Amino acid sequence: MTRVKTVIYGMNTHHLQQLLNDGNQLLEEGRRLAVRRGQAVLVSTVCRADGADLPSLFSYKEKGFAENRFFWSEPGRKLTFAGLGCAYLIESDKASGRYQEIERRWTEIAAGSIGSEGAPEYAGPHLFGGFSFDPLNPSSSDWREYPSARFVLPRIMFTQMEDGVWITLNKIVSEHGEAPDWREEIDFLTACGSQDPSEEETADADADIIYKEETSPTDWMQAVEEAAEAIRAGEMEKVVLARSIRLYAEQDYPIAAILRRLLHEQTNSYVFAFGYGSSCFAGATPERLMRSKGREFHTLSLAGSIARGATEAEDQRLGEALYHDQKNLHEHQLTVQMIVDEMEALCEQVDVPDGPILHKLKDIQHLLTPITGWAREGATLLQAVERLHPTPALAPTSSSTRWSRWRRRSVSFPLPERSVGSASRCAQSRERCSAEVVHSTAQRMP
């Protein structure tokens, strides 16, 4: 692998040329393999970088890269991804079978892929995207660019870890025509050095809100009363209600600035952004739906909440009140039980501690119960996602159709090539076969 020097808005031209040459050798190999197999081959090349400002990638407007962008950062910021462009797209608007379709198509293209030797676990080909909560619920115009399931393999991906930054270039090589090259990708990385950082910094100021729409108090109280009546009537045990707020501004919301603010303020949350076309789905969430590592499935119940205190003493008092509140404990246990029931269908063993712990965020604290399962042979990440998505932490626990059709939200996550690759590849490196999924509510930035 080649070492590439990069700064916030630039990269070393000499090393980029070396990356181009090394990567083109892989493309030639991929072309020969595609012709021999009679089908397209995924080729990925990986190199190390010295640093990068990943939120700034949302400021670039170059055609072919701006239409598909993503950002993903774990709590604690030990692992962050950012990507541009689309090398491979998987979409589905099916009401059923969407999980299986995504898994089947990704497994097919990932199983026969080739790439750089010695790449770290979180570099190389990763698929990013998400599923809507309810494929049968009609989508509003806000979600016109987001089908029921959409996943993108980026053309360029940055991975930032504690030991540095890595760059991955991905390309699908066809068995037809001439072998492609990395010229456009390298030209883009080179062009990053020609943009004046001040152009982006001017967007860091708050967008001036000129108009706001939100649910009226009357409509909101009616929704609360209907939900309470449904619980009293036995139609459901638990429901999560949410109000939407629509903000209008004279200019586009600066996504790079929004990401920087979330990273700074929401240090214990997953921060994400998925930009498609003219829309961007961005936000922060503390909840991880599922993480797989080898045979282990790691999930959690995050339900039951109370505010943080203004002082340490008040914060402790509020936490103790939440920890002993029967209503919140009941709601939390409903979520725990649903997760355990679904995981037992896929796991040989499911471990749950005796009780929850307090999970403190910037403005709120939750009850949290970690749950671990050991997958049965053949059980996959997306099978677990299908069973758990969404959990009662965000959804009603109900068999009533009236309460099962609800306002659209989304789940989003990065899906490494190794997590759903061929069984033999996964078995050979179980400790490296990992992926994460988080729940996230809709926060669209026009």
pLDDT tens digits along 180-228: 888 888 888 877 755 554 444 444 446 677 788 888 888 889 988 988 8
Exactly one of 103, 185, 287, 436 is catalytic; name it: 287
Inter-residue contact 107 to 90 (CB < 8 Å): no
Say whether pLDDT at 119 is over 70. yes
Pairwise CA distance, residues 407 & 385, whole Å: 19
Q: Is 287 a catalytic site residue?
A: yes
Mean pLDDT of 357-363: 93
Q: Please tell me the predicted confidence (pLDDT) of residue 147.
A: 85
Q: Please tell me the predicted confidence (pLDDT) of residue 1.
A: 52
Pairwise CA distance, residues 17 & 403, whole Å: 57
Cβ neighbors of 8 (< 8 A, separation 6 or more) are 51, 52, 53, 56, 197
Tokens in use for 378? 């053949």
Query: Is 339 inside any structural domain?
Result: no
Say whether pLDDT at 18 is over 50. yes
Residue 320 phi, psi dihedral angles, 5° rounding:
-65, -40
Q: What is the mean pLDDT of the chain?
A: 80
Say whether pLDDT at 304 is over 50. yes
Q: Hunting for tokens 């725990």 — which residue is that? A: 336
Comparing 63-72, 86-95, 405-414, which segment has the lowest mean pLDDT?
A: 405-414
Extract the runs of DSSP E, i.e. beta strands, from 215-295: 245-249, 270-276, 279-285, 288-293
Exactly one of 238, 331, 342, 417 is catalytic; name it: 238
The number of angstroms, rounded, from the C-alpha of 386 to the middle of its chain's C-alpha atoms is 15
- Percent of the chain at pLDDT > 90 equals 41
Q: Hunting for tokens 């039980």 — which residue is that? A: 337
- Boundary residue ending a domain (184, 202, 220): 202
Q: Please tell me the predicted confidence (pLDDT) of residue 191.
A: 73
On whether both 51 and 134 belong to a single domain, the answer is yes
On whether both 123 and 226 belong to a single domain, the answer is no
Burial of 308 from C-beta contacts in 10 A (0-12 / 13-18 / 19+): middle
Say whether pLDDT at 169 is over 70. yes
On whether both 31 and 68 belong to a single domain, the answer is yes
Confidence of residue 21 (pLDDT cuts 50, 70, 90): confident
Nearest to 415, CA basis, from 105, 162, 176: 105
Query: Is 324 inside any structural domain?
Result: no
Pairwise CA distance, residues 376 & 348, whole Å: 5
Map residue 177 onto helix, strand or coil.
coil
On whether both 179 and 213 belong to a single domain, the answer is no
On whether both 160 and 227 belong to a single domain, the answer is no
Q: Please tell me the predicted confidence (pLDDT) of residue 414.
A: 54
Q: Please tell me the predicted confidence (pLDDT) of residue 146.
A: 84
Comparing 171-185, 198-212, 267-281, 378-392, which segment has the lowest mean pLDDT?
A: 198-212
On whether both 92 and 214 belong to a single domain, the answer is no
On whether both 35 and 158 belong to a single domain, the answer is yes
Residue 330 phi, psi dihedral angles, 5° rounding:
-65, -45
On whether both 114 and 177 belong to a single domain, the answer is yes
Query: Is 99 inside any structural domain?
Result: yes
Burial 176-199, CB ≥16 within 10 A → b, else e: eeebbebebbbebbbebeebeeee
Query: Is 366 inside any structural domain?
Result: no
For the segment 310-352, what is each residue's pLDDT rounded down to a tens digit?
Answer: 999 999 999 999 999 999 999 899 889 999 999 999 999 999 9
Query: Is 289 inside any structural domain?
Result: no
Inter-residue contact 216 to 377 (CB < 8 Å): no
Q: Hunting for tokens 């099962």 — which residue is that? A: 404
Confidence of residue 179 (pLDDT cuts 50, 70, 90): confident
Inter-residue contact 58 to 273 (CB < 8 Å): yes
Pairwise CA distance, residues 220 & 133, whole Å: 21
Cβ-based neighbour number of residue 351 at 10 Å: 12
Mean pLDDT of 132-153: 81
Q: Please tell me the predicted confidence (pLDDT) of residue 445.
A: 37
Mean pLDDT of 218-246: 85
Q: Please tell me the predicted confidence (pLDDT) of residue 405.
A: 38
On whether both 215 and 106 belong to a single domain, the answer is no
Map residue 370 onto helix, strand or coil.
strand
Question: What's the start-to-end Cα distance of the chain, in Å?
Answer: 39
Query: Is 356 inside any structural domain?
Result: no
Say whether pLDDT at 70 is over 50. yes
Inter-residue contact 109 to 40 (CB < 8 Å): yes
**In terms of residue numbers, what domain contains 163?**
3-202
Mean pLDDT of 120-129: 90
- Give the number of domains in the chain: 2
What are the helix (H) ranges across 345-395?
381-388
For the segment 399-438, what is each residue's pLDDT rounded down to a tens digit?
Answer: 443 444 333 334 444 554 333 222 222 222 222 334 455 5
Inter-residue contact 281 to 443 (CB < 8 Å): yes
Confidence of residue 262 (pLDDT cuts 50, 70, 90): very high
Q: Please tell me the predicted confidence (pLDDT) of residue 62.
A: 67
Query: Is 48 inside any structural domain?
Result: yes
Q: Hunting for tokens 């692998």 — which residue is that? A: 1
Q: Is 331 a catalytic site residue?
A: no
Say whether pLDDT at 35 is over 60. yes
- Percent of the chain at pLDDT > 70 equals 79
Nearest to 381, CA basis, from 436, 319, 310: 436
Mean pLDDT of 135-162: 85
Helix (H) or strand (E) holding 373: strand 364-375
Q: How far is CA 434 from CA 135, 291, 295, 298, in A?
A: 27, 7, 9, 10
Comparing 101-115, 117-131, 179-193, which segment has the lowest mean pLDDT?
A: 179-193
Nearest to 297, CA basis, from 376, 367, 368: 376
- The vertex-282 CA angle with 281 and 288, nearest 5°, equals 105
Q: Please tell me the predicted confidence (pLDDT) of residue 164.
A: 86
On whether both 193 and 224 belong to a single domain, the answer is no
Comparing 52-61, 95-104, 154-163, 301-310, which segment has the lowest mean pLDDT?
A: 52-61
Query: Is 303 inside any structural domain?
Result: no
Inter-residue contact 242 to 283 (CB < 8 Å): no
On whether both 221 and 124 belong to a single domain, the answer is no
Strand partners, 296: 293, 374
On whether both 31 and 154 belong to a single domain, the answer is yes
